[in-house]
A and B are shown apart, each in its own frame.
Chain A
């Protein structure tokens, strides 16, 4: 070999120049060492993920929901807010919006008025601007709906998947309505909302909240009846659910991280066939002739490179029931081509 030690050291450093033991690695190590120093606790891998999501969701809720609402409430208090009426679009048929037979937990029934019905009550050719200072609720809802449909991704949630609340804000001591606030709140209790402020005199939209807050869930309340019903129906581990159920659940509560295959992408059957190519290895490896596997399709938004991927969870001994085995394997396939990409062993030692 003509290369000097210096050459080889340089070659590796140049080739792997972007590989650093970064802050994230350090944090992971320190977290583990803290756990070592702390009193022993039982591991609960399946719950752990959920807990993390909850914490993130809680933090996000504070930033995205509680803070704006508090500011809004303070502002409204200063101006003197009068509640006109709360119109709740608690749709018993919400589950039918998805393609799946979702658990039919119905949000509390109040004086239900579907936004669709409200909109139907309002003539579609009604003037956009209500000359009268006292704008009707249905008119305010119609304007808010138009604003929602123009600015938010209705491919994720449609207008029918929100409850509607209409309030009127007054200047302190004045009789004239300053503006009308229409707030859409997701029926899935996932933290999604959209707020539109309307000038009652002109019908002009004065402002509206950040559109992504309307379609990116910030909360997954595992204790809620609706979410509990999903788990009761399908099992404790979401990746074991039928793909349609996973996709619908993810749309409602996780911002659609998991979805159904699109045109041009490998379908579930093709991935199962590709997976079968590996099954002999798995059988030889585990000595078990039964391998249970579950397929999940992650949208491109779950990955830095934007490519959707299938993850196949494989378990020796067949289907899992109440508990995850200590070790299992996740095989990853590219959704576009269906090609095998990588495998990962998950074990108690996996950080």
Chain B
């Protein structure tokens, strides 16, 4: 593998943060329901990505976005799995998140809230497919499941969101 200078690695990392930073952080926010945790998770995602930045530079990793999202999802899951977090729930409903949501239409908030309330695996598929614009095959690859399972999860997630929206 070619040797890359520190500057080249840093440049690649900055480019990646500029390109995907917002969507990674928002996805983490939907996942963790907590802005400070989402900040931690998003930063952690890029720190982990930096460990493999040479593979990005050498284009060994083909789908950079899918790869990064997998890291983000796993980072969020690790955080939720941490023993402290399992016991002490710091997740907040969207209206309590410190965001300037006053300009957001009510429907958007309801839809985001419905996604946030999904169980993790259904949330994964929805976020990857709808928010990160990935096709089902890529989603399946990222999540390490079969295409059929991905389809089933997506249908289940859609049904749950519909139900949640009707309820609200």
* B 101-139 binary contact with A (CB < 8 Å = 1; else 0): 101110111011101000000000010011101000000
Q: State which residues 3-22 of A face B: CB under 8 Å.
A: 3, 5, 7-21
Classify chain B: how many residues form its interface, as a range: 35 or more
Complex contacts, B82 vs chain A, CB 8 Å: 345
* A 160-200 binary contact with B (CB < 8 Å = 1; else 0): 00000000000000000000000000000000000000000
- Cα–Cα distance between A25 and B159 once the two chains are bound (Å): 36
- Cα–Cα distance between A11 and B83 once the two chains are bound (Å): 32
Interface residue A32 (Cβ < 8 Å from any Cβ of B): yes
Q: Are B84 and A12 in contact (CB under 8 A)?
A: no
Cβ 8 A contact of B112, one of A15, A20, A28, A342: A15
Q: Which of A111-119, A236-244, A281-289 contacts B (4 or more CB under 8 A)?
A: A281-289
A interface secondary structure, majority:
helix
Q: Are B99 and A8 in contact (CB under 8 A)?
A: no
Q: Which residue of B lies closest to A13 (CB)?
A: B26
- Cα–Cα distance between A285 and B84 once the two chains are bound (Å): 7
- Cα–Cα distance between A287 and B162 once the two chains are bound (Å): 41
Complex contacts, B70 vs chain A, CB 8 Å: none
Q: Are B40 and A351 in contact (CB under 8 A)?
A: yes
Q: State which residues 261-308 of A face B: CB under 8 Å.
A: 278, 281-282, 284-286
Complex contacts, A281 vs chain B, CB 8 Å: 87-88
- Cα–Cα distance between A349 and B47 once the two chains are bound (Å): 11
Complex contacts, B104 vs chain A, CB 8 Å: 14-15, 17
Q: Are B108 and A285 in contact (CB under 8 A)?
A: no
Q: Which residue of A lies closest to B89 (CB)?
A: A343
* B 16-44 binary contact with A (CB < 8 Å = 1; else 0): 01000110111001100011101110111
Q: Are B50 and A19 in contact (CB under 8 A)?
A: no
Complex contacts, A70 vs chain B, CB 8 Å: none
Classify chain A: how many residues form its interface, as a range: 35 or more
Interface residue A1 (Cβ < 8 Å from any Cβ of B): yes
The verdict on A344 contacting B130 (CB below 8 Å), with A17-B104, A25-B42 known, is no
Tell me how far the C-beta of A306 lies from the nearest C-beta in chain B, rounded to whole angstroms. 14
Interface residue A323 (Cβ < 8 Å from any Cβ of B): no
Cβ 8 A contact of A33, one of B10, B25, B162: B10
Complex contacts, B39 vs chain A, CB 8 Å: 25
Complex contacts, B107 vs chain A, CB 8 Å: 11
- Cα–Cα distance between A287 and B87 once the two chains are bound (Å): 12
- Cα–Cα distance between A327 and B40 once the two chains are bound (Å): 16
Q: Are A12 and B131 in contact (CB under 8 A)?
A: yes
Interface residue A37 (Cβ < 8 Å from any Cβ of B): yes
- Cα–Cα distance between A7 and B3 once the two chains are bound (Å): 43
- Cα–Cα distance between A36 and B105 once the two chains are bound (Å): 43
Q: Are B83 and A285 in contact (CB under 8 A)?
A: yes
Q: Are A7 and B111 in contact (CB under 8 A)?
A: yes
Tell me how far the C-beta of B29 lies from the nearest C-beta in chain A, rounded to whole angstroms. 5
Q: Which residue of B lies closest to A283 (CB)?
A: B87
Q: Are B22 and A19 in contact (CB under 8 A)?
A: yes
Q: Are B25 and A21 in contact (CB under 8 A)?
A: yes
Interface residue A29 (Cβ < 8 Å from any Cβ of B): yes
Q: Are A10 and B25 in contact (CB under 8 A)?
A: no
- Cα–Cα distance between A19 and B35 once the two chains are bound (Å): 8
Q: Are A342 and B90 in contact (CB under 8 A)?
A: yes
- Cα–Cα distance between A30 and B86 once the two chains are bound (Å): 30
- Cα–Cα distance between A58 and B10 once the two chains are bound (Å): 30
* A 124-144 binary contact with B (CB < 8 Å = 1; else 0): 000000000000000000000
Q: Are B13 and A33 in contact (CB under 8 A)?
A: yes
The verdict on A20 contacting B161 (CB below 8 Å), with A33-B10, A285-B83 known, is no
16 sample A-B contacts, Cβ–Cβ < 8 Å, listed by A number: A5-B133, A8-B115, A9-B130, A9-B133, A11-B108, A15-B94, A15-B113, A17-B103, A17-B104, A18-B99, A21-B24, A25-B39, A278-B88, A343-B84, A345-B84, A351-B44
17 other A-B residue contacts (CB within 8 Å) besides A5-B129, A17-B104, A342-B90: A1-B162, A3-B161, A11-B108, A11-B112, A14-B105, A15-B113, A16-B112, A19-B26, A19-B99, A29-B46, A30-B13, A282-B88, A286-B83, A343-B84, A343-B90, A344-B90, A345-B85
Which 9 interchain pairs have the tightest Cβ spacing? Answer: A21-B21, A1-B158, A11-B108, A15-B112, A11-B111, A8-B130, A14-B108, A285-B87, A345-B84
